[in-house]
């Protein structure tokens, strides 16, 4: 296993790190201001520090930075004009969508120009013949869902930040979420991309051809690139049929081994299975404290699963049968009506905000092979305690992908030690240091635990080729040096 890459030590305040972005003098020269104003219009160049402040910290409150200004372009041409002006001034650009990212990637450092995609909200009509749609990168996931559900389609990715997270952000982070089991990650939904490159040029490939082997696949390259290779402005997306017959089960189990056994059986018996999510008793307690939800069962159990099935016919009977067939189920409740399903999901989806309400957590998002999951989880408490005695780990996640969100409360002062210990443990089990949130700034120093020196060298070569001056999100994913 490789040692962590040298460079940034993640801290509670990105503004205090040693990242040096191009143009890091933080001043907005009048010449640059004039060019940006000409690009987006005076109303969409924001320079008032009290207005800019809301763009300078992340959702968790762990990362803070500084922007020299905020620009809000309305379309690809305006984005290209902003990028070209920034390139001439050698000023760096940080792209921000919904700012729900959890690894510090959407936070501007060293006086970057903050480019907000808030106005890239065009929603083209769904193309019914192909089951595809083209939308602006600033469209929120919830707006996309409303748009396509109205005509009998759905989008294959869903998660709790849907009201704020943007489609551009989903693609830039290759977001996972709650339906990967059935539809794959965001990458599997992307059929076309329009983007502005670091020199201000535009690439646009939005025909949506599912078969097209004509060279390098820039859509794959930009998906998951975390704003470091280009500014995504429009997307051509694959849609899935809207399935309205749904059943959700909350299942109580004894431990992670039991949870895995229930999921394995459900997956094999239920073609309609869409989601399999995991949380534990301590997370449930925090959720109940924050939301006021009542206890789901008379007894408290060590671990819980949320399973959702969806189809054209009511999947409830099949789900009940599958649960009845599993010895590992200690208790279960099933909801079929929208309100009941929503409540059962709330026990799982409210984890992020409930944990945040209890303090700023060290947020880690790891995946290990399912064969190693139980052993890794068993080792976690001691591993974390050795790095920080006061630490309070809360675990939850997307169990079918071996994707565990390790949130550690009361550990801010030992954030680096906790991160190091957990990520090394994960790597020793053949896992990934970032299953779905990306590397951002938070995990950059540990990239070498998941990627070989050759792979990192290849990433660097791509970055240098597309962004030789390092203007796009410097310090995200790769060390700017
Ligand atoms: P931002 O936070 O604004 O940006 C994220 C990164 O993408 C940054 O590096 C940014 O520079 C870059 N970026 C954004 N837009 C563009 C663009 N147009 N072009 C180029 N780069 C761009 N994530 C999951 O994967 N699965 C989950 O289940 C999940 N659940 C969440 C639940 C909650 C309550 C919260 C707060 C977050 C959750 N997330 C989850 C994390 C987050 O929502 C996703 O990473 C999401 O994809 C980020 O979208 P955004 O628009 O907020 O992006
Ligand atoms: C989730 O699955 O709820 C998210 O990825 C958010 C988080 O990790 O807090
Ligand atoms: Zn998640």
CATH number at residue 325: 3.30.70.2190
Residues near ligand 2 (Cβ within 6 A): 102, 159-160, 351-352, 365, 405
Q: How far is the CA of 305 from the centre of ligand 2 (A)?
A: 15
pLDDT of residue 11: 35
Number of domains in the chain: 3
CA 230 and chain centroid, separation: 18
**Are both 209 and 253 inside the same structural domain?**
no
Question: Token pair 């996309």 is at which residue?
Answer: 144
SS3 4: coil
Of all protein residues, the one whose alpha carbon is nearest to atom 35 of ligand 1 is: 161
Domain boundary residue among 241, 261, 276?
241
Question: pLDDT tens digits for 38-97?
Answer: 999 999 999 999 999 999 999 988 899 999 999 999 999 999 999 999 999 999 999 999
User: In this structure, what CATH number is given to the domain that contains residue 180?
Assistant: 3.30.465.10
Atom of ligand 2 nearest to the CA of 160: 3
Question: Residue 310: its pLDDT value, please?
Answer: 98
Q: 434 is written with which tokens?
A: 């970032």
CA of 348 relative to ligand 1 center, distance in Å: 19
Question: Can you tell me which atom of ligand 1 is nearest the CA of 59?
Answer: 36
Best mutation site among 405, 435, 437 for ligand 2, i.e. most ligand atoms within 8 A of its Cβ? 405
* Nearest bound ligand to the CA of residue 79: 1
Ligand 1 centroid from CA 166, angstroms: 7
Q: Please answer whether residues 450 and 427 qualify as being in contact, where contact means their C-beta atoms are separated by less than 8 angstroms.
A: yes
Ligand 1: centre distance to CA 347 (Å): 22
Query: 337 and 391 in one domain?
Result: no
- Residues 259 and 374: their CA atoms lie apart, in Å, by 10
Ligand index nearest the alpha carbon of residue 283? 2
Three state DSSP letters for 247-300: EEEEEEECCHHHHHHHHHHHHHHCCCEEEEEEEEHHHHHHHHHHHCCCCCCCCC
Check: CB of residue 102 under 8 Å from CB of residue 175.
Answer: no
3 state SS of 167: helix
From the alpha carbon of 405, which atom of ligand 2 is closest?
8
Is 220 inside a domain boundary? Answer: yes
- The Cα–Cα gap between 479 and 84 comes to 24
Strand runs labelled E in 281-371:
303-311, 331-335, 362-367
Q: What is the reported pLDDT for 26?
A: 63
**Which pLDDT score, from 0 to 100, does residue 10 have?**
35
Of 111, 181, 227, nearest to 402 by C-alpha is: 181
Of the listed ligands, the closest to the CA of 477 is 1
Give dist(CA 306, CA 288) in Å, integer: 16
In a domain, 283, yes or no: yes
Q: From residue 123, how far is each of 127, 136, 137, 185, 413 by CA, in Å? A: 12, 6, 10, 22, 44
422: in domain? yes
437 alpha carbon – ligand 3 mean position (Å): 8
Other CB atoms within a 10 A radius of the CB of residue 261 amount to 15
396 with 315, same domain? Answer: no
Q: What is the Å distance from ligand 3's center to 401 Cα? A: 10
* Cα–ligand 3 centroid distance for 396 (angstroms): 8
Question: How close are the terminal C-alpha atoms of the chain, in Å?
Answer: 23
Same domain, yes or no: 181 and 222? yes
Are residues 397 and 365 part of one domain? yes
Let me know whether 137 and 234 are in one domain.
Answer: yes
**How far is ligand 1, taken at its centre, from the CA of residue 165, in Å?**
6
Between helix 370-387 and helix 256-269 the angle, nearest 10°, is 150
Phi, psi at 243, each rounded to 5° = -105, 115
Taking CA atoms only, the protein residue closest to ligand 1 atom 15 is 169
CA dihedral (315, 318, 321, 325) positive or negative: negative
Residue 127 is given by DSSP the state B
- C-alpha 352 – ligand 2 centre gap (Å): 6
CA atoms of 266 and 307, how far apart (whole Å): 9
Taking a C-beta distance cutoff of 8 angstroms, is the pair 158, 149 a contact?
no
Whether 440 is covered by a domain: the verdict is: no
Rounded distance between C-alpha atoms, residue 271 and residue 192, angstroms: 29
pTM of the full predicted structure? 0.95
d(CA 100, CA 87): 27
Tokens of 161: 């930040």
Which regions of the chain are under pLDDT 70?
A: 1-26
* Same domain, residue pair 137 and 229: yes
Residue with tokens 């390259």: 221
Could you identify the residue written with the tokens 């591993």? 383
Q: Could you tell me the two tokens for 11?
A: 């801290």
Q: Pick from 222, 241, 260: which residue ends a domain?
A: 241
pLDDT at 386: 98
Q: Do residues 369 and 307 both lie within one domain?
A: no
Q: Could you tell me which of 435, 261, 248 has the C-alpha nearest to residue 341?
A: 248
Residue 181: what pLDDT?
98
- Indicate whether 169 and 231 sit together in one domain: yes
Give the binding-site residues of ligand 1, using a 6 Å CB cut-off.
59, 94-102, 105-106, 117, 137, 159-161, 164-166, 168-170, 172-173, 175-177, 226-227, 231-232, 352, 436-437, 473, 476
**Which token pair is 203?**
């690439």
Smallest CA separation from ligand 2 atom 6, residue: 352
* Residue 252 alpha carbon to ligand 2 centre in Å: 20
Which pLDDT value is given to residue 481?
A: 77
Query: Which of 461, 458, 466 is CA-nearest to residue 196?
Result: 466
Domain span including residue 412: 360-435
Please check whether residues 136 and 237 belong to one and the same domain: yes
Q: Which atom of ligand 2 is nearest to the CA of 176?
A: 5
Q: Which of 161, 187, 221, 222 to mutate to test the pocket of ligand 1 (most atoms within 8 A of CB)?
A: 161
- Last residue of one domain, picked from the residues 297, 323, 352: 352
Q: Are residues 282 and 376 in the same domain?
A: no
Contact 400, 181 (CB under 8 A): yes
């Amino acid at each position: 296993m490789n040692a962590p890459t040298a460079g940034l030590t993640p801290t509670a305040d990105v503004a205090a790190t040693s990242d040096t972005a191009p143009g890091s003098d933080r001043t907005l020269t009048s010449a640059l201001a004039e060019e940006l104003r000409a690009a987006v219009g005076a109303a969409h160049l924001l320079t008032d520090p009290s207005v800019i402040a809301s763009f300078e910290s992340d959702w968790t409150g762990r990362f803070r930075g500084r922007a020299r200004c905020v620009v809000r372009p309305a379309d690809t041409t305006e984005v290209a004009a902003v990028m070209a002006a920034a390139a001439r001034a050698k000023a760096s650009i940080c792209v921000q969508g919904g700012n729900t990212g959890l690894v510090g990637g959407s936070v501007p450092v060293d006086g970057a120009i903050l480019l907000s995609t808030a106005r890239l909200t065009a929603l083209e009509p769904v193309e019914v013949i192909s089951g595809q749609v083209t939308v602006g990168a600033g469209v929120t996931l919830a707006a996309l869902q409303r748009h396509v559900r109205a005509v009998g389609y759905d989008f294959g990715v869903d998660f709790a930040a849907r009201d704020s997270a943007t489609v551009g952000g989903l693609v830039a982070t290759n977001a996972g979420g709650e339906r990967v089991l059935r539809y794959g990650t965001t990458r599997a939904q992307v059929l076309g991309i329009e983007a502005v490159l670091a020199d201000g040029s535009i690439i646009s490939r939005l025909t949506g051809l599912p078969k097209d082997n004509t060279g390098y696949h820039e859509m794959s390259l930009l998906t998951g690139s975390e704003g470091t290779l280009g500014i995504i402005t429009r997307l051509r997306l694959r849609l899935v049929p809207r399935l309205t017959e749904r059943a959700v089960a909350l299942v109580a189990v004894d431990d992670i081994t039991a949870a895995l056994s229930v999921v394995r059986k459900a997956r094999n018996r239920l073609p309609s299975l869409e989601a399999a999510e995991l949380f534990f008793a301590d997370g449930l307690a925090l959720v109940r404290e924050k939301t006021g939800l009542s206890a789901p069962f008379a007894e408290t159990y060590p671990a819980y699963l949320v399973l959702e099935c969806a189809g054209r016919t009511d999947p409830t009977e099949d789900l009940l049968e599958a649960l009845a067939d599993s010895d590992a189920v200690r208790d279960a409740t099933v909801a079929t009506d929208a309100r009941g399903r929503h409540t059962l999901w709330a026990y799982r989806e409210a984890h992020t905000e409930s944990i945040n309400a209890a303090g700023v957590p060290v947020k880690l998002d790891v995946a290990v092979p399912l064969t190693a999951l139980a052993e890794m989880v068993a080792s976690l408490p001691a591993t974390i305690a050795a790095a920080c005695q006061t630490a309070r780990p809360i675990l939850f996640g997307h169990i079918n992908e071996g994707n565990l969100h390790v949130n550690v409360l009361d550990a801010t002062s030992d954030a680096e030690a906790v991160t190091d210990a957990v990520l090394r443990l994960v790597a020793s089990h053949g896992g990934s240091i970032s299953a779905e949130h990306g590397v951002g700034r938070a995990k950059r120093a540990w990239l070498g635990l998941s990627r070989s020196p050759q792979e990192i060298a290849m990433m660097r070569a791509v970055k240098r080729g597309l962004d030789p001056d390092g203007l796009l999100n410097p310090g995200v994913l790769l060390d700017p040096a």
